[in-house]
Every structure is written in C-alpha cells, then in structure tokens.
C-alpha cells in the first residue's frame, strides 16, 4: 500500500465499503468534472477501494441508496454539484460525502455571499458592485469605472473555471462583458481588478485542524488565466515553491485558513488570492469547495509539493467523508 496514505493505518480501505465517484453532472463544468472524476476513480481503484463512477445527470440520486453505496467522493464542479444541492440530497439519503456540507457549499459557490462573509469577518477582498441582467441597459459605465477603476473584472456570481469572466479594459467594452456574464447567471459580479501576483492555496481538514498546503503562484500568458489556459494548454506556469518570501507565503496560508474556517468549510478547498503589486496586500478572490483533480489541477500539485501524491490525496479525502447531520444513537 502507498506509504503516503497516512490514515490507512487506522482505516482499512475495505471498510470504506462501496464508493460512488460522482462526476459529470449538468453544470457548464461537466467536461472538467468528467476528467476529475476519472482521475479520482482510477486512483481509488488502484488503492483497492471498491469504487464506481456515478453521473447524477444520467442516473437518479436515489439509486445510491438502493444500490448500497456507503459513501461518495464528489468530483462534480459548479452547479448541481458544488453548490449544496447534491450535498443536501446526500444528507437526505444518509450517504457520507467528501468536502464541505450544505451551507458552506452553498455560500462558497456564491461569490457575492462569500465576499459578504469575508468582509464581515474583516478579511480583505476586492471592492465590488452586484448587478442584475435587467440593469445592463441602464447602468452607467462611467459610474462603474469611477467606483471600481480600470481594468475591472466582470463575472457570473455563481460559476467556476473562469466561465463567463471578462477583464474589462475600457468602458466601451463593459456592456459585452455584462452580457457574457448574464448568459451564465442571473447575478453579475463587477469587481475591482487587483494587479499583481496571482496565487492559489489549498486547505485540508476542518475547524481548528484545517491546514494550508504550499502556495502556488500562477503565471498565465498575458496574465489571462482563463478556461483554455486552465485546462487545455501547457502555456501557464505553476510555481511551487511559489518564490514568495517565507513570511509572505506564511501570511497567505494563515489568511486562506481563516477564510476557509469562517465559511464553515471542511474536507478540502482551494482559495484564489491576488497580491497587490504596489502594496503587497493579499486580497481573497473566491473559494472552490470541490476543486479540480485533472492533470492540470492545482490541489494535487500543491499536495505533491507537501509530500502527498495523487493517490494518497484521494484516499485521505475519502476517509474524511461525512455528513452534516448524524443520526443520534438509539
């Protein structure tokens, strides 16, 4: 058995029972989810886990209970998988699952709600304006630019993988960006663009036991870390070690753990951060509570830098699968 499966000494993998790897789904990130799910499935099978693929867009969730699945590894991304909906279904079925629970998943998927929580807790996040598609024709581009500056970022409030995201460099380009975001969601997030180093940092665990993995610094072509550059090219550089000073890396790790904890996350997550070039102030952008597990994905990369390979990461996440609500003993 892989030496890095740290928890296997206390948890015989056969005791995990029949495991469903949830992948695919109905979101705009279906293609990426299928890649993540296949990677996780193969790793679990290699480790000796009785794992099977399960696509909720093709099968009814009730089949998980009828077919005797004991736990689920959620490799779904985006809506109907990362937003609390699948988590709620699994709570009703009583099938433990990886990652955050219903409320944390729901809040984390909503970038505006996430920002509100972080701001309430005194955590730094870029300034923003929330718009509805009905406001696209009436909003003043000049007022928005005066509030947020240029360039500014326009994105759907509830979408991942940079889908529907535009960096707006002139007021004339704003309307097209708003329309692109509105095609993905009924809330549009307009956000101050922080110019500087782009980094991301995974977090594992829950509560006081949560810990940050090594920070990854992302260097994308022309600073454009979009869907294509995330998953389908080799032009983006991922630097781990990040090249940041030990003090700066440590400060970012402490910040992301706090950001993860105040949302009530558990299991795992990955938080994106921008570091202002002039002030070196880090700003929290968003959190992903069901991160990618593809060949280009960042949590496995960071975990490997910490001494945990892909197989061990998958098994340890599965071992930690749980429910928000456990039935009390009779």
Q: Is 286 a catalytic residue?
A: yes
Q: Is 31 a catalytic residue?
A: no
Q: Is 191 a catalytic residue?
A: no
From the candidates 226, 292, 297, 302, give the one annotated as an active-site residue. Answer: 292
Q: Is 83 a catalytic residue?
A: no
From the candidates 33, 100, 105, 161, give the one annotated as an active-site residue. Answer: 161
H helices within the chain, ranges in order? 30-46, 62-66, 85-93, 102-109, 111-120, 141-148, 174-182, 227-231, 246-262, 298-305, 310-319
From the candidates 159, 286, 320, 324, give the one annotated as an active-site residue. Answer: 286
Q: Is 27 a catalytic residue?
A: no
Query: How far is it, in rounded angstroms, from Cα 218 to Cα 271?
Result: 13
Q: Is 161 a catalytic residue?
A: yes
Q: Is 97 a catalytic residue?
A: no
From the candidates 249, 272, 320, 324, give the one annotated as an active-site residue. Answer: 272
From the candidates 225, 231, 260, 310, give the one annotated as an active-site residue. Answer: 231
Q: Is 288 a catalytic residue?
A: yes
Long-range CB pairs of 150-154 (<8 Å, 24+ gap) are 150/193, 151/193, 151/195, 152/190, 152/191, 152/192, 152/193, 153/126, 153/189, 153/190, 153/191, 153/192, 153/193, 154/178, 154/180, 154/181, 154/188, 154/189, 154/190, 154/191
From the candidates 8, 29, 269, 290, give the one annotated as an active-site residue. Answer: 29
From the candidates 30, 71, 79, 270, give the one annotated as an active-site residue. Answer: 270
From the candidates 8, 105, 288, 290, give the one annotated as an active-site residue. Answer: 288
* Residue 40: Cβ-neighbour burial (10 angstroms; 0-12, 13-18, 19+): buried
Q: Which residues are catalytic?
A: 29, 161, 231, 270, 272, 286, 288, 292
């Amino acid at each position: 058995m892989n030496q890095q499966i740290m928890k296997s000494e206390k948890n015989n993998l056969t005791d995990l029972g029949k495991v469903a790897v949830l992948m695919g789904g109905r979101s705009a990130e279906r293609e990426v989810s299928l890649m993540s799910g296949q990677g996780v499935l193969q790793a679990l099978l290699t480790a000796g886990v009785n794992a099977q693929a399960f696509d909720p867009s093709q099968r009814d969730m009730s089949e998980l209970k009828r077919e005797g699945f004991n736990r689920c590894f959620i490799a779904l991304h985006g809506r109907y998988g990362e937003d609390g909906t699948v988590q709620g279904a699994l709570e009703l079925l009583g099938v433990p699952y990886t990652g955050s629970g219903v409320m944390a998943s729901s809040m984390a998927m909503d970038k505006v709600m996430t920002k509100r929580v972080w701001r309430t807790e005194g955590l730094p996040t870029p300034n923003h304006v929330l718009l509805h598609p009905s406001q696209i024709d009436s909003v003043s581009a000049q007022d928005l630019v005066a509030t947020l500056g240029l360039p500014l970022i326009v994105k759907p409030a509830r979408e991942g993988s940079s889908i529907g995201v535009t960096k707006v460099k002139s007021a004339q380009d704003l309307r097209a960006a708003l329309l692109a975001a509105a095609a993905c969601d009924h809330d549009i997030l307009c956000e101050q663009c922080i110019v500087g180093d782009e980094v991301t940092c995974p977090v594992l665990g829950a509560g006081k036991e949560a810990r940050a993995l090594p920070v990854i610094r992302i260097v994308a072509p022309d600073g454009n870390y979009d869907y294509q550059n995330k998953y389908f090219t080799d032009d983006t550089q991922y630097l781990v070690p990040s090249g940041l000073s030990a003090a700066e890396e440590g400060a970012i790790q402490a910040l992301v753990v706090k950001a993860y904890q105040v949302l009530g996350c558990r299991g795992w997550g990955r938080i994106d951060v921008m570091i202002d070039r002039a002030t070196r102030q880090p700003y929290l952008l968003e959190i992903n509570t069901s991160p990618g597990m593809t060949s280009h994905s960042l949590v496995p990369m960071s975990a490997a830098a910490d001494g945990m390979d892909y197989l061990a990461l998958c098994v340890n996440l599965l071992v930690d699968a749980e429910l928000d609500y456990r039935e009390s003993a009779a």
